[in-house]
Amino acid sequence: MFEQKEGVGVDEIFEPALEAGALDVVEDAEGRVVVFTEPNETKAAGESLSSALGLEISGSEIIWDPNEDTKIPLDGEQSVQELIKFVDVLQDRETSVQGIYMNVSKGSVDESSWAELQSRITA
């Protein structure tokens, strides 16, 4: 992720990012430019863009981003409640959990249950 710099947004970063090995470039909700790369290209692409465009790297992490085609729809409230309990157990463990990612979509569950599950997972 790069801090937003006056006059440098997704449009200005897109081409140099692709040349540096990026797969995609988006702007997040906080105005930072996020560059997606293969895990082994993260550092090199970040450093290349930082020096080429004078951008400050605000963070770098390797995440799991599920493909929309592979997400599993949730079929009922019981499934959602079981996942919520599972996530709560993970977060309460003594080890530090840095992020919880799930390959699920809303399916047929109601909005409040879906929102409750989403509030507990990273992405």
Using one digit for the tens of pLDDT, what is the confidence trace for 58-110?
778 777 777 778 888 998 899 999 999 999 888 887 777 777 888 888 989 99
Element spanning 50, H or E: helix 42-53
What letter does residue 94 receive in the DSSP assignment? Answer: S
> Domain ranges in the chain?
10-53, 68-118
The per-residue pLDDT for 55 is: 80
Alpha-carbon distance of 93 to 90, in angstroms, equals 6
Per-residue pLDDT for 123 more than 70? no
Alpha-carbon distance of 53 to 105, in angstroms, equals 37
4-60: pLDDT as tens digits:
677 777 888 888 889 888 898 888 777 777 888 888 888 888 888 888 888 888 778
The per-residue pLDDT for 56 is: 80
End-to-end CA separation in angstroms for the chain:
16
